[in-house]
Amino acid sequence: MTEPNEQQGPRIGKDEWVARHGDNRDRRAGVAGTIEERLRNVPWWAWLALFTGIVCLLPIGFESGYVRRIAFDTVIFMLLALGLNVVVGWGGLLDLGYVAFFGVGAYTYAFLSSDKFDVHLPSILTIPLACVVGGVIGLLVGLPSRRLVGDYLAIVTLFFFQIFLTVTNNGENLFGTDVTGGPNGIINVDPLSLFGRELPVSADGIFNVAYLYVALGAFVVVYVALRLVDRSRTGRAWRSLREDALAAELMGMPVSWLKLMAFAFGAAVAALAGTLVTALNGSVFPQSFEFPLLITIFTMVILGGAGSQAGVVVGAILISVLLEVLREPGDARFLFYTLGLLGLFAAFRLSVRLAVVLGGTLVFGLIAHAVAGSVDDAWTAGAGGDGGRLADWAVHWVIVPADLAAWVTPVSYIGLVSLTLVLTLLRGWTRLALLVPTLYLAAFVWENVMLPKPEPTRFVILGALLVAVMVARPAGLLGEKRVEIV
Amino acid sequence: MAGTRLLELRGVSMAFGGLSVIDGLDLHVDEDEILSVIGPNGAGKTTLFNLVTGVYEPTGGDIVFAGESIKGLEPHKITQRGIARTFQTLRLFLNMSVRENVMAAAYGHTKAGAFRSILRTPGQRREEREIRAAAEQRLAFFGERLTGYRWDQPAYSLSYANRRRLEIARATATNARMLLLDEPAAGMNPKETHEITELIAKLRDEGGFTILVIEHDMHVVEGISDRVVALDHGVKIAEGSFEQVATDPRVVEAYLGTGAAERK
């Protein structure tokens, strides 16, 4: 037998072609390829350390309490996403009661450290206790659901979520005693106390950055701990259960117990996040744990890539920051047009078609604006929102009437959705031709309908983004491609 | 051949509602034996496997493994006692690597819990190393096919024949004493079928497994079996050496239809 060499090529039948699949992979040439290769070899803990370092330095660059508070909220979302990832990403269990565990942690903290029952335990006790309570309740919820999968499990967990909301909302008269304070919640909750010292929630009138560091510390501990579990016997069993529960059971893995463990781990992490939020807010209300929060956390996990720890963290950061940015019309406008351009670049690359679409839309807009302006000045007399030069430019391109007739909003909105749907059915030049007015209509809807109402707009944009990412990368941004049927 | 009974089914019955699938079946497998179960489709062969591995609980009779009744135990408990199986329709953990598939099956006989894993205690690390080494050794049983670069490939990238091999490797990694192979040669070409025949013998001779196998390919059955049991409609219709069973009129009738044996 001679050693196979480059001239002979891999021998078929000995699986050598597959053996060399690494060489066959597309690899970018030159510096970009080398950098890509190097980046791939950076160990996970280095990324984690780098990320933690950057967040630690954040308060130096940003003096504003607002930015620091957003950073804190984002870290909380990262924790929540990590916890949900255990249940959904690794265990493959659809847990729609997840937010209730967040609430359980929050209320447990409030019970143990507030004037409510006049108990004031130090945080070093309260936080672990709340995690244990969360984990145990997770176990209890899992108990009746351990034989359920898919939609059945989802319904049972959703029911538990509803029970939690009912109990907290009506808890001011629970069998005659006031437990949760009902809709008024629990106020005057102690701030965190570490090593006998209380951590004030605000220093010099702004958000105390120590809370950000505490949350970040919790995040790092949880991230590392969960990663170690993932790379162990338990993690393998969870993934086996996700892949094929029956096969896992028949290979000696106690599937019911593993499901309960996944529930308990996820619940404990959610409870931890709950304690930190309550300590900072100094209060807890049932309204903080409603359905939109559940959807938001699920979006983070799915967008980032369920099953990938780094993925769900990226998802949490993206969604959390995005939802904040979209509150500010100027930033939102910038984001809208940037995302639009990036989307076009991603779809067409640098090609003639891109030039045609961009140029076409630009010209289309200028003509439409000029025509509308010459018919009636009022049609283009709208001020547009505030937001600097981009706003000035936008009102000279997009038709922004001074007074928007009532019928314009629904017609343009429905028109945009219909045009987008029609676009997906078309191919070739007809598609490009229709894309131009669709883009312009999108800009029109954005400037006239969506920008003036930031609150619903945020979630519409979020939904659209999720749809776009899911079409492009069904497994999420950093999720590994998974094969369901072979 | 040790001759002691490792697995024994005593009058086992299984009915789904009113439909009786297995009816009063007596069957035994001796230690270090290779027993083949044959029979036409729908004879109850796979149901027999599901009963032994605890997927179904028999509606009547008793199943005894290594001297103890395993009837009514949860499937993972039965596996931990030493019975592991493969599936007729492959059920690998497709999105896990080849090595992880095998490592996962070590769950039942390893101990380190989640908290020890978080703390990475010395015992946990040693156990993890052992699981890994054992998995690689199990895979090496199949020659070069499932070793080296293959360790880290996802299971879905494997060819059909290699998936069958990986399923067998995974079953052996549970530290079972007895393997239940459900149609190991299904969908294989003649060369691969021949290999499987040798492999099953090797599993017994070198691996020390007692083997109960369902197979349709009569060449394989002839090549491996110490004893053959023929089932039809959930009833044992013949038992004995391959020659005895293959020429039994009732077996011929079950496969070819009424009167086939007479015309022959």
CB A202 within 8 A of CB A69: no
Residue A408 belongs to a domain: yes
Question: Which two tokens mark A275?
Answer: 């304690």
Q: Helices A233-243 and B122-140, interaxial angle, to 10°?
A: 50
Number of domains in chain A: 2
Average pLDDT, stretch A80-87?
Answer: 96
Q: Can you give the pLDDT at residue A7?
A: 45
pLDDT digits (tens, 9 = 90+) for A244-299: 999 999 999 999 999 999 999 999 999 999 999 999 999 999 999 989 899 999 99
- Contact flag B100-A236 (C-beta cutoff 8 Å): yes
Sheet of strand B19-30, all strands in order from the earlier edge strand to the far edge? B19-30, B5-16, B60-65, B68-69
Q: Is the pLDDT of residue A472 over 60?
A: yes
Classify residue A139: in a domain, yes or no: yes
Chain A residues close to B108, C-beta within 8 Å? 251-253
Does the pLDDT of residue A114 top 60, yes or no? yes
pLDDT for A66? 87
- Total tally of structural domains belonging to chain B: 2
For residue A395, what pLDDT is reported?
A: 80
Chain position carrying tokens 């005693």: A177
Domain that holds residue A356: 331-452
Whether residue B154 and residue A249 make contact (CB cut-off 8 A), yes or no, is: no
Mutate one of B46, B77, B86, B93 to test the A interface: name it (highest A CB count within 10 A). Answer: B93
Same domain, B184 and B254: yes
How buried is residue A266: exposed, middle or buried, by Cβ count under 10 Å (0-12/13-18/19+)? buried
Whether residue A457 is contained in a domain is answered as no
Other beta carbons within 10 angstroms of residue A246's beta carbon come to: 13
C-alpha span between A215 and A207 (Å, rounded): 13
Q: Note whether B51 contacts A: Cβ–Cβ < 8 A.
A: no
**How confident is the model at residue A19, as a pLDDT?**
53
Residue B213 in domain? yes
Q: Which of B2, B6, B9, B63 is nearest to B236 (CA)?
A: B9
Does residue A154 lie in a domain region?
Answer: yes
Q: Are residues A294 and A412 in the same domain?
A: no
Q: How far is the C-alpha of B218 from the C-alpha of B207, rounded, in Å?
A: 24
Listed by number, the residues of chain B in 63-82 with a beta carbon closer than 8 Å to a beta carbon of chain A are 74-76, 79-80
Token readout for A108 is 């447990």
Mean of the pLDDT values across residues A104-128?
Answer: 92
pLDDT band at A230 (very low <50, low <70, confident <90, very high): very high
Q: How confident is the model at residue A65 (pLDDT cuts 50, 70, 90)?
A: confident
In a domain, B170, yes or no: no
Q: What is the pLDDT of residue B262?
A: 58
Residues contacting B58, CB < 8 A, separation 6+: B12, B13, B14, B22, B51, B71
Whether residue A240 lies within 8 A of chain B, CB to CB, comes out as: yes
**What pLDDT is recorded for position A480?**
78
Which of A232, A248, A255 is closest, CB to CB, to B128? Answer: A232
Residue A484 has pLDDT above 90, yes or no: no
Predicted local distance difference test score (pLDDT) of residue B184: 93
Q: Is residue A194 in some structural domain? A: yes
Residue A251 to residue B79, Cβ atoms within 8 A: yes
Q: What is the β-pairing status of strands B227-232 and A206-207? A: unpaired
- Residue A6 within any structural domain of the chain: no
Helix (H, G, I), strand (E, B) or coil at B76: helix
| Nearest alpha carbon to residue B81 among B6, B4, B167 | B6
Scan for tokens 């199949």, then name that residue: B142
Task: Identify which has the larger pLDDT, A26 or A471.
Answer: A471
Name the strand (E) or helix (H) holding A139: helix A123-145
CB-CB under 8 Å, A234 with B128: no
Residue B52's domain spans which residues?
Answer: 5-82+176-263
CATH number at residue B212: 3.40.50.300
Q: Which pLDDT value is given to residue B236?
A: 93
CA neighbor of A277 nearest in space, from A455, A98, A130, A63: A130
Same structural domain, B236 and B128: no
The CATH number linked to A180 is: 1.10.3470
Residue pair B155/B95 in contact (Cβ under 8 Å)? The answer is yes
B87 neighbourhood in chain A, CB within 8 Å:
247
Interface pTM (ipTM) of the complex? 0.92
Specify whether B181 is located in the same domain as B68: yes
Instruction: Return the percentage of chain A with pLDDT > 90, whole number.
Output: 48
What local confidence, expressed as pLDDT, does residue A400 receive?
Answer: 85
Does B91 fall in a domain?
Answer: no
**Does the residue B89 lie in any domain?**
no
Whether residues A316 and A343 share a domain: the answer is no
The answer to whether B35 touches B231, Cβ cutoff 8 Å, is no
A237 CB neighbours in chain B (<8 A) are 104, 107
Q: Do B95 and A15 touch (CB under 8 A)?
A: no
CB contact under 8 A, B104 and A239: yes
Higher pLDDT, B79 or A446: B79
Concatenated DSSP letters of A249-313:
HHTT--HHHHHHHHHHHHHHHHHHHHHHHHHHHS-B-GGGG-HHHHHHHHHHHHHH-TT-HHHHH
Specify the pLDDT at position A200.
Answer: 85
How many contacts does A have with B, using Cβ atoms within 8 A?
A: 110
One domain for residues A271 and A419: no
User: Which has the closest alpha carbon to A365: A400, A318, A315?
Assistant: A400
Contact A251 B117 (CB under 8 A): no
Same domain for A342 and A285, yes or no, is no
Does B108 contact chain A (CB < 8 Å)? Answer: yes
Instruction: State chain A's mean pLDDT as an integer.
Output: 87
The residues of chain B scoring below 50 in pLDDT are 1, 264
Q: For residue A207, list its beta bridge partners.
A: A202
Query: For residue A63, is it within any domain?
Result: yes
Reading the block at residue A135, the tokens are: 């984990």
pLDDT at A6: 45
Q: How far is A466 from chain B (nearest CA, A)?
A: 24
Q: Are strands B178-182 and B83-85 parallel, antiparallel or unpaired?
A: parallel
A236 touching chain B per CB within 8 A: yes
**H/E element, B144:** none
Write out pLDDT tens, residues A426-440. 888 898 899 999 999
Residue B39 token pair: 């029979």
In a domain, A27, yes or no: no
**Taking the model in full, what pTM does it have?**
0.87
Residues A134 and A252 grouped into a single domain: yes
Q: Are residues A233 and A111 in the same domain?
A: yes
Taking the alpha carbons at both ends of chain B, their separation in whole angstroms is: 36
CA atoms of B91 and B93, how far apart (whole Å): 7
Both A319 and A370 in one domain: the answer is no
